[in-house]
Structures are given as C-alpha cells and as structure tokens.
C-alpha cells in the first residue's frame, strides 16, 4: 500500500512538469500564425510563467524570431525554439508584429521579467503589468512586493497591484486600490479610475474623491507644463530674433534674408553631422561642433551680402527690403539646387531625446529644455560681445554717432560689415537649434522671418532686453491661448494684440531714450 | 519606315525637356506626325516641392519609357514642364499657359486640393485633360479631370474602421489632427459623420487644425495625451500635410506616445516623407494608402526598377502618388491607342473602363465617375522607413467621390 502511494506520488511529480511542458509546446505554434494567433499564444506564454518563453518572446519583440512555412520557429543563432537544437535557417521568414501583438508582448514579458535580477527590468515589468493588468496578477504581485528590496521598483509594484486589484473581485482591496491610485496622482491612474467607475456602481463616491484629488495635482502640473511650453516657444523666438535685433535693431537694416541665414545654419549643422558620421568618437559631438561652423558660414554670407550689396543702399530702406527679399529667394533656390528639395535629416543626440521628469511629475521634453539653455547662452554671448569687447565698443560708437566715430579713427565701413556678419552669425547659430525641432528644408527660414520682426518691434527696436522680454511674452501668451483658440487662431490673436500695442506704443516695450532714439 | 525626326520648334525646345535630344543616335525611329505633348504641372519650388518634385520625375520617367517603346501610335511623346511654385493662383496661370501656348494634349499635375480647385475652371473652359494623382477629400467630379488617387471611401473610412477593429486596438475615442485647408477639413467632416454612425459621440472626438509647416506641437500632443487618459482607448487620425509631419512625429516620440497605447494613422505620410526622419520612435504607427513600396509582386518590382534606374539611385523610394501617376499615364497611353486620337473628347470616352494591373498588385479600372477602383492597404511603420502591411481589402474598392456622410451632396452619388 505504502509502495503504491509512493509510486502514485512519483507519477504525479513526473506528470506536473510534463503538463507544463505540454502547455508550453502547445502555445508555441500560434506564434507562426496570423496576428490574432500570435497575440493569443503570447498571452498564454506570459501566463504560464515558464522561463523558457523569455528568450522566445524577447526575440519576437526584437524582430529576430523566424518561422518556417511548416510552423517551426527559429531563435537567433539558428536554434529551434521548441527543442533548443540547431536548425536550418534557409527559407525562414521573420515573424512580423502589429500593435495588438506588441501590447500582448509587453504584458507577457512584464510577467516573466518580474523575477529578473536587474532592478530596471523589474521596474519596467511593473509598469507593463500596470498597463495590461488582470485579476490573476494579484498573487504574483503580492509575492513580488514581499521580496522587493529596491524602493523605486516597490512603489511601481504597489501601483501595479492597485491596478490589478481594481479589476479583481475583492471589494475591500478595491477600496484600498482606489485610494492608492488617487494618491499617485498620474494621468494613467486617472484613466484606470474613470474606466472602473462604470463597472463599480457601489464605489462611485470613493472613485470620485480619488479622481478629484488627481485633478487638483494635475491642474498645477498642467499650468507648469504650459509655462514650460511657452518658455520653449519663447526661446525659439528669441534665438530667431537675436540676430535681427543686431542687424535691424542696431544697424537699422531691414534684412528679409535673415530667415535664410537661419536656414544656412541648419544646413551647416547637417554638413557637420555628415562629416562626423565616419568618425565614431566624434559623431555624438557633431551638434556642439556645428555651433561655431554655423556661426562662421552664416557670418561669411552676411559679410558678403553687406559688402557686396547692402552698403550701397544705406538710407534707402525700401530698396534694401526688396533687395534682401530677392537675395533670400536666391539663397533658397541655391540650397534647393545643391541639397535637393527633400528635407535633410539632422539626428538628435541621445541626450536630447525623450522626456525629463521634474519633481512633482512635471514632464519636460529634453530637446526643448536644451534649446532654452542654448537661447540664454547665446543671449549672454551677445550681451558680452557688445559690452566688453573692442568690437562691441566700436559698434556702439558707430551707432551713436557715425561721423565722430570716424574722426576718432574707427573704420566705420569695417565695423558695419562686422556688425552685420555678427548678426547673421547669430542667425546661423539659431539654425543649429532649429534643426532639432523643425525641418531642415530650404523653406526653414521663411517661417521665422515674420515672427522675428514681430519680436524685435514688440520688444523695442535696438534693445536686447526688449527682445528677451518680447520673445518670452509672445511665447507664453501664444501657448496659454492655444488650448482655447487652437493653433491657428491663437497666432491671429497674438498678431492683433501686437497691432493694438504698437498703436499705443510705437517704439515697443523698451523704447530707447535720448538722442539715439531721435535719429 | 523612314526615320523622320520630328522638327522641334524653338518653343518646345525651350519649354520642354529633351532627354532624347541628348542622345540623338539612340533615338528610336518615330513615324509621321508631330510629337504628342504632355504637360507637367507640379511645384518645383516652395513648400510643396518636397512632395511634388518626385511626381515631375515620375512623369518624365514615363515619357522616356513610352518613347523607348516607340511612342504612342508611333508618335513621339514630349514633356512640357512648368513650375507653379506652390503658389495656388499661379497654378491656374500655368495651366492656361500649358493649354493655350504649348497646346498640350494631356496634363499630369497638382498635389494639394487647393491647387486642383484653382486649375479646374481653366481645364473646363479650355476643354483640357488633367490627371490628378493624389488621395483627396472627394465631393468633386469634372469631365476634364481623371482622379487616380483615392477617394475617402478608399482610404479614410477603411482606416478608421481598422482602428476600431480588434486588430487595430478597438479605439473608442478619436483625435482628428489636420493641416488647416480644404482636404483635412472635408475629410474630418466625413469621418465625424462616419464615427457618429458607429455610435461615437462628439464628446469622444477631438479636432484640431494647424497651419502649413507648423513646427511647435508640444501643446497639441500634450492635449492628445490628456484626451487619451479618460478611460477609453484612443487613436489619432492625422491629415497633417507636408513637412509639418516631421516635428509632429518627433514630438510624439519625445513625449513617449507609443503605438501600442495611442496608434496614429496618417493619410498623407508615405515613404518619401519618412525619408527625412528618424523612424525608430514611430515603429507601429500606421498609414493608410492604396500602394506601399513593400508590396510584393511582379508589377511593383518592374515599377521600382524603372524608377530607380531612371533616377540612377538604388536607394530612392517609391510612394502612392507616384504609383497613381504611373497608373494614370499608362491608362492614358492605352486610351490614346484605343481612341486612335489625342483629342480630349475621344480620349475621355476611351478612358472609361481602361484596366491595368497596377504596382499595388491589384487590377485597377477607370470608372464612369472618373475615379479608379483601388485596394486599401494599411501599413505599420518599420525601423527602415518602409511599411509592414498589416491589413488589406480582398478586392479593389470602387471610388465613391460623393460621400454619404456629407448630406448636401449625398444625392449626387451614382
């Protein structure tokens, strides 16, 4: 009798893994089928928790899983997915994914990676389960929380548990989960609560309290994000307008080709990137390197334009306007002929991609953040150049009184050329920043020329502080209006507001006083 | 047959294009008669140059192709290229120039609906013939225009149906984002009507427009994210046109919107547009067209080879409007051969019912409403900038240029 029991026990012990093996092998052939079959078998594999599924699902996610026409699956390195034996790869084709499969994969991989030794992977797993939660995850998550040591991962696991408990039948756990999701204060948590509201009529009051508390923290965060977006737009306007603040504001030249200098700067960025492409250690630094390159190229073009054409037209603003407009068109078409009508791709370095989470859950995009920093740096550079260098001194002298400056031995023609080149070079530097957020195309500059003039006139011609305040004001006002009026109307409102403002104060925000203003 | 080379007038030599002139020794022998003139009315400068230059090249390629085969009815074909410079009124002037000064027999041209609306009265007044190769909003029919791109029921509606299906993610809320002009506004009006008929109310539809060339998408993408976080699966339907798409997709990537969570289906983004953009963050986002470069089959292989050898670049991509230009041109040569005439009225009659095994892998037919029957394909963006076709119609779909969802025109349907 005892022997018989023992034999039964041994049989059971043998049968259990065999059953698991059966489920595992039974789920595999689906991966060679249509998108619906793949998604189903991915879900099955995730639910089984069999570690053998992990390499298969990872290969599938990376697009490296291959299939034969007869349904045999191949892992990278040509091993058979079911048996682990080497296999023939000829005639095999890659298993394709669609969004439904990707969604299933995220959940399945999350469940399998919950036991990973790597904390980052466990964190990602917790997030994946949060998104694809189901009632069956509750015990797994509770076990994972009990053994978790990393505080950050633990917090994510607790949230994922709350998400799973929200769809589980236990009423008491649900109340807890609702309170915890409310405290989390994220948009994702709010989405889950709204979804749960319809399914749980008895818990509506608790859910509403949680949603209201999320709304409160979200509204503060939203205001902060709008402010950031406004500052970001403002910094772009500032960059585009700074060069004009020098050529138009200081020299009084209405340069309609200003936008094209910005465009030249963006193309310089593209050329530096292409030049750096072959040198691996240099490639990540191509963007900082293109700042001086863009400055020099645009400055050279500016100097040539000033010496060649503009100096013959000083004091004739209408002719200058028409002539520079024509030069702008020539530059555009020249770039189109050299580089083609297609947009050029300027890649963003890794440190400029993605979103940065500030404390309080405020999300700011990296590229915009860097452009704000860059805009401030360029502004300081311009102020320093005008204040503290000999060239800046000569420039101010020529602007204040050209004749006396000339009698003091300043070569005014040379200072004019340098000032114009300086302003154009700044436009080129703006092009480096714009290559990160806009298209590098021959038309790049035309989109910014009106805005630049608007900023300079609004801020007060000849005042750098005015340019700064003008750019940031316009950026923030535009972004605050946008949600109510839409992108098109917001811009119209801003233009109308500027028109009215200029009627009242024709000299802009920061009007120059004294003799310089009279001339 | 004696080799009587056609006399080139100075105007034709000036206004036109002469690949054949460059190699007189290789010129095939053409029969009697003056050359047949093909007008090319695509923007070669300005904002639309990015998309339209490839179409000019496609027409020139087809002219070379037909001349290498001995021309049409034994007559040589000559292209007359003009540049309307993305300037809508200039389109009408250039169309008039093509018809009255150059006396072209047929014209291939236009991309944006606003440019087509601008030239339509000219073609009707002077009884010209225009082949328009781009998907558009419908609600139009002219005896002087053949529409070889998709009507809304061949692109927009099937795409939204896909988003609402199980495979597409069962979207229950839709964000309609578009550029501010006639095509996106009309298409979104049709889609709104369609969504209502499927039980999706106004509260679950978001609609936003931006100007051409818009580059600051932070606010709009943030609002879409918020719209998507209200407890229902959300999808984006984009009718954003031109290069504004690049910063739009970059912003989607930077704000971490993944295709699994909020898929975005676009109607104006093809292989050519993806060529200038880092596609890694976009993998899984969708586009609906009637042709993708990744279509398998002999007609597409032939088309791709023709293009890449003409443009002398094995990396250049093909796209849907190029395929529509190719199909239109081949149908026009077939119709001229059948009518044995280049007169607009004769060719028009011969065009109806023309069939062609198109590069999209389906047989397309010119319908009496001057539109084509076309298949609908939905593709997901891949890392290499090509599309992975995830859904397609079993047969070519007949075009309905008058949408049942625009009440005032619905009774004009045939």
Q: Which bin fits A46, alpha (ψ -120 to 50), beta or left (φ > 0)?
A: alpha
Q: Smallest CA–CA separation between A416 and chain B, in Å?
A: 33
Q: Which two tokens stand for residue B364?
A: 């397309």
Q: Smallest CA–CA separation between B181 and chain A, in Å?
A: 11
B349-402 per-position pLDDT tens digit: 999 999 999 999 999 999 999 999 999 999 999 888 899 999 999 999 999 999
* Residue B220 forms contact with A (CB below 8 Å): yes
Contact B260, A106 (CB under 8 A): yes
Which domains are assigned to chain A?
26-113 (no CATH), 114-199 (no CATH), 225-518 (1.10.3470)
A434 three-class SS: helix
DSSP lists the bridge partners of residue B175 as: B206, B236
Residue B364 parent element (H or E): strand B363-365
* Residue B197 forms contact with A (CB below 8 Å): no
- Cα–Cα distance for residue pair B186/B189, rounded to 1 Å: 5
Q: Which bin fits A185, alpha (ψ -120 to 50), beta or left (φ > 0)?
A: left
B79 three-class SS: strand
CATH fold, domain B153-295+376-412, is: Rossmann fold (3.40.50)
> What average pLDDT is seen over chain A?
87
- Provide the residue ranges of all domains of chain B, joining segments of one domain with +: 10-149+297-365, 153-295+376-412
Within 8 A by CB and 6+ apart from B279, the residues are B381, B382, B383, B384, B385
Q: Smallest CA–CA separation between A291 and chain B, in Å?
A: 21
Contact A483 B223 (CB under 8 A): yes
Q: Which two tokens stand for residue A350?
A: 């890794």
Q: Which residue of A99, A347, A440 is in closest CB contact with B259?
A: A99
Within 8 A by CB and 6+ apart from B255, the residues are A355, A363, A365, B218, B221, B222, B225
Q: Smallest CA–CA separation between B208 and chain A, in Å?
A: 7
Q: Between A344 and A266, where is the model more confident?
A: A266
Within 8 A by CB and 6+ apart from B398, the residues are B367, B373
Q: Which bin fits B99, alpha (ψ -120 to 50), beta or left (φ > 0)?
A: alpha
CATH architecture of structural domain B10-149+297-365: 3-Layer(aba) Sandwich (3.40)
pLDDT band at A107 (very low <50, low <70, confident <90, very high): confident
- Cα–Cα distance for residue pair A425/A446, rounded to 1 Å: 17
A324-378 per-position pLDDT tens digit: 999 999 999 899 889 887 778 888 888 888 888 887 778 888 989 999 999 999 9
B27-79 per-position pLDDT tens digit: 555 666 789 999 999 998 777 887 898 999 999 999 999 999 999 999 999 99
Contact A494, A478 (CB under 8 A): yes
Chain B residues whose CB is inside 8 A of the A195 CB are 231-232
pLDDT at A281: 86
Would you tell me which residues 127-156 of chain B have a C-beta closer than 8 angstroms to some C-beta of chain A?
none
- Cα–Cα distance for residue pair B247/B265, rounded to 1 Å: 16
Q: Which two tokens stand for residue B328?
A: 């239109």
Which candidate, B46, B75, B45, B40, places its Cα nearest to that of B60?
B40
B96 three-class SS: helix
* Residue B207 forms contact with A (CB below 8 Å): no
| Fold agreement between B10-149+297-365 and B153-295+376-412 | yes
A487-515 per-position pLDDT tens digit: 888 888 999 999 999 899 888 888 766 44
In angstroms, what CA-CA distances link B286 with B183, B375, B384, B408?
19, 17, 14, 32
Q: Token pair 């802009």 is at which residue?
A: A508
Q: Which residue of A96, A97, A488 is in closest CB contact with B210?
A: A488
User: Strand locations in B193-328, DSSP E?
Assistant: 205-210, 234-239, 264-266, 286-289
- Other C-beta atoms lying within 10 Å of the C-beta of residue A447: 22
Q: Which two tokens stand for residue B137?
A: 């909003």
């Amino acid at each position: 009798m005892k022997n018989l029991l023992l034999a039964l026990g041994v049989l059971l012990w043998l049968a259990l893994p065999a059953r698991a093996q059966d489920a595992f092998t039974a789920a595999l052939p689906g991966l060679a089928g249509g998108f619906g079959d793949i998604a189903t078998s991915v879900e099955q594999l995730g639910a089984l928790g069999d570690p053998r599924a992990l390499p298969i699902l990872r290969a599938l996610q990376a697009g490296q899983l291959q299939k034969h026409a007869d349904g045999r699956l191949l892992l990278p390195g040509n091993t058979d997915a079911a048996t682990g034996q080497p296999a023939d790869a000829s005639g095999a084709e890659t298993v394709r994914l669609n969004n439904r499969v990707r969604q299933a994969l995220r959940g399945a991989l999350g469940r399998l990676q919950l036991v990973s030794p790597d904390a980052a992977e466990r964190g990602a797993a917790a997030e994946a389960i949060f998104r694809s939660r189901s009632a069956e995850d509750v015990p797994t998550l509770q076990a994972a929380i009990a053994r978790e040591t990393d505080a950050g991962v633990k917090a994510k696991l607790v949230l994922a548990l709350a998400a799973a408990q929200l769809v589980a039948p236990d009423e008491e756990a649900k109340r807890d989960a609702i309170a915890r999701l409310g405290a989390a204060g994220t948009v994702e948590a709010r989405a889950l609560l709204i979804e749960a509201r319809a399914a749980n009529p008895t818990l509506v009051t608790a859910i509403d309290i949680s949603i209201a508390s999320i709304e409160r923290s979200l509204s503060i965060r939203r205001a902060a994000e709008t402010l950031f977006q406004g500052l970001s737009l403002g910094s772009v306007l500032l960059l585009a307008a700074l060069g004009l603040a020098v050529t138009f504001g200081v020299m009084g030249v209405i340069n309609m080709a200003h936008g094209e200098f910005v465009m030249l700067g963006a193309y310089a960025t593209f050329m530096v990137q292409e030049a750096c492409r072959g040198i691996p250690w240099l490639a990540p630094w191509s963007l900082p390197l293109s700042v001086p390159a863009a400055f020099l190229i645009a400055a050279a073009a500016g100097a040539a334009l000033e010496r060649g054409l503009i100096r013959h037209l000083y004091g004739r603003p209408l002719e200058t306007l028409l002539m520079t407009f024509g030069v702008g068109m020539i530059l555009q078409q020249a770039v189109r002929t050299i580089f083609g009508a297609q947009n050029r791709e300027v890649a963003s370095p890794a440190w400029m991609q993605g979103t940065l989470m500030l404390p309080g859950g405020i999300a700011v995009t990296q590229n915009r953040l860097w452009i704000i920093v860059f805009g401030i740096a360029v502004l300081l550079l311009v102020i320093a150049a005008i204040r503290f260098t000999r060239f800046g001194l000569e420039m101010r002298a020529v602007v204040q009184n050209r004749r006396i400056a000339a009698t003091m031995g300043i070569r005014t023609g040379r200072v004019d050329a340098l000032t114009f080149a300086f302003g154009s070079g700044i436009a080129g530097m703006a092009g480096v920043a714009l290559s990160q957020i806009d298209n590098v195309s021959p038309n790049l500059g035309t989109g910014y020329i009106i805005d630049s003039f608007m900023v300079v006139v609004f801020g007060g011609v000849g005042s750098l502080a005015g340019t700064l305040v003008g750019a940031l004001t316009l950026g923030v006002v535009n972004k605050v209006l946008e949600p109510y009026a839409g992108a098109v109307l917001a811009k119209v409102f801003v233009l109308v507001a500027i028109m009215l403002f200029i009627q009242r104060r024709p000299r802009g925000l920061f009007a120059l006083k004294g003799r310089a203003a009279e001339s | 047959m004696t080799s009587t080379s056609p006399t080139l007038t100075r105007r034709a030599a000036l206004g036109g294009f002469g690949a054949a002139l460059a190699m007189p020794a290789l010129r095939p022998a053409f029969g009697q008669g003056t050359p047949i003139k093909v007008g090319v009315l695509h923007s070669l400068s300005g904002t639309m140059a990015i998309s339209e230059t490839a179409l000019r090249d496609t027409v020139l390629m087809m002219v070379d192709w037909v001349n290498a085969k001995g021309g049409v009815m034994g007559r040589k074909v000559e292209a007359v290229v003009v540049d309307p410079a993305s300037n809508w009124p200039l389109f009408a002037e250039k169309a008039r120039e093509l018809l009255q000064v150059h006396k072209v027999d047929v014209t291939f041209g236009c991309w944006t609906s606003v440019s087509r609306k601008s030239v339509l009265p000219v073609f009707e007044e002077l009884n010209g013939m225009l082949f328009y190769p781009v998907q558009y909003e419908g609600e139009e029919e002219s005896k002087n225009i053949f529409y070889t791109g998709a009507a809304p029921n061949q692109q927009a509606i099937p795409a939204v149906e896909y988003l609402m299906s199980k495979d597409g993610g069962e979207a229950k809320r839709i964000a309609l984002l578009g550029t501010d002009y006639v095509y996106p506004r009309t298409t979104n009006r049709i889609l709104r009507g369609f969504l209502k008929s499927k039980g999706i109310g106004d509260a679950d539809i978001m609609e936003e427009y931006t100007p051409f060339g818009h580059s600051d998408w932070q606010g709009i993408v943030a609002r879409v994210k918020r719209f998507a976080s209200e407890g229902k699966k959300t999808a984006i339907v984009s009718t954003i046109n031109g290069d504004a798409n690049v910063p739009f997709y970059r912003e989607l990537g930077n704000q971490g919107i993944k295709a699994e969570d909020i898929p975005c289906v676009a109607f104006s983004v093809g292989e050519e547009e993806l060529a200038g953009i880092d596609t890694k963050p976009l993998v899984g986002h969708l586009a609906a067209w009637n042709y993708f470069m990744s279509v398998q089959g002999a007609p597409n292989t032939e088309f791709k080879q023709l293009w890449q050898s003409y443009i002398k670049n094995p990396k250049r991509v093909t796209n849907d409007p190029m395929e529509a230009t190719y199909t239109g041109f081949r149908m026009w040569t077939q119709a001229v051969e059948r009518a044995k005439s280049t007169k607009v009225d004769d060719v028009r009659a011969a065009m109806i019912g023309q069939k062609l095994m198109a590069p999209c892998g389906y047989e397309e037919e010119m319908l009496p409403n001057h539109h084509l029957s076309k298949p609908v394909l939905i593709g997901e963006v891949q890392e290499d900038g090509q599309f992975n076709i995830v859904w397609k119609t079993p047969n070519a779909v007949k075009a309905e240029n008058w949408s049942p969802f625009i009440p005032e025109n619905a009774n004009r349907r045939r």
